[in-house]
């Protein structure tokens, strides 16, 4: 898997670097709301990225609070050059309009986009494994800056706007996080060219997650929110 985020087709330049921030919250300070696998989601994804030249920062537990994630995102945005790319992954609780940090603050998707859109990086790929994460679509509907209105940020979310995001305790990951890891390792390579594009990854994640949650009370339907120009973005080589 190669998250150097090179772009196929008309965008043929190879990115110099990819900067990744991976955030996961399992402990929210209350056994009634704590999660079991979200920190492991982050650690397992880091193992995938460690095989590649990805500059990765990880924040978990109490360190994945609102201020710390905001600060690290800002630093990554400033560090990335025009030929670079950015990846952000979050695993934890979510609600309509944002995800929940370890200090139980709402990190609103609008704020996330406001931070990310300031970067000079070529492309920004955001992966959210949280309940109601598909509510980020409302930003696009309001022309805030996601999708074709701002053609370098794409969101892949674990669920639709009113759906839960389910953990798979048998394998120790969320269904979305598990599918993402498998896809980046090569299973999403539909045309067998040994590359995984953003749309190939989303298609694999969607099919895998909807199939594996089909017998749950709430079936998950992962969502893609982003410009068509990013469909052919190469996320992985294997």
| C-alpha–C-alpha distance, residues 163 and 197, integer Å | 26
pLDDT tens, residue by residue, 52-81:
678 999 999 899 999 999 999 999 999 999
Domain 18-237: which CATH number of 1.10.3720.10, 3.40.50.300, 3.40.50.1460, 3.10.105.10? 3.40.50.1460
Phi and psi torsions of 112, nearest 5°: -60, -45
pLDDT at 52: 67
Confidence band of 237 (pLDDT split at 50, 70, 90):
confident
User: pLDDT averaged over the chain?
Assistant: 88
Burial class (CB in 10 A: 0-12, 13-18, 19+), 106: middle
Which three-class secondary structure string do you get for 174-191?
A: EHHHHHHHHHHHHHCCCC
Q: Which residue has the higher pLDDT, 113 or 150?
A: 113
pLDDT surpasses 80 at 33:
yes
pLDDT per residue over 82-101, tens digit each?
999 899 999 999 999 999 99
- What pTM does this model have? 0.90
Token pair in block for residue 119: 């970067």
Distance between CA atoms of residues 180 and 47, nearest Å: 13
Whole-angstrom CA distances from 65 to 22, 91, 213 are 13, 13, 29
């Amino acid at each position: 898997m190669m998250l150097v985020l090179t772009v196929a087709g008309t965008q043929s330049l190879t990115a110099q670097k990819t900067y990744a921030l991976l955030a996961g919250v399992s402990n929210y300070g209350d056994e009634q709301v704590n999660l079991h696998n979200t920190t492991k989601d982050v650690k397992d994804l880091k193992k995938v990225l460690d095989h590649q030249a990805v500059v990765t920062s990880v924040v978990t537990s109490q360190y994945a609070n609102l201020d710390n994630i905001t600060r690290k995102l800002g630093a990554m945005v400033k560090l990335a050059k025009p030929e670079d790319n950015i990846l952000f992954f979050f695993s934890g609780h979510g609600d309509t309009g944002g995800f929940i940090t370890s200090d139980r603050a709402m990190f609103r998707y609008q704020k996330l986009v406001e931070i990310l859109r300031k970067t000079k990086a070529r492309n920004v790929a955001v992966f959210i494994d949280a309940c109601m994460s598909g509510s980020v679509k409302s930003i696009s509907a309001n022309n805030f800056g996601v999708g074709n209105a701002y053609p370098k940020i794409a969101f892949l979310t674990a669920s639709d706007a009113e759906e839960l995001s389910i953990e798979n305790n048998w394998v120790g990951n969320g269904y979305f996080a598990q599918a993402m890891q498998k896809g980046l390792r090569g299973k999403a390579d539909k045309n067998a060219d040994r590359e995984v594009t953003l749309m190939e990854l989303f298609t694999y994640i969607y099919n895998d997650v909807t199939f594996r949650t089909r017998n749950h009370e709430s079936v998950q339907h992962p969502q893609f929110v982003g410009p068509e120009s990013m469909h052919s973005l190469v996320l992985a080589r294997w």
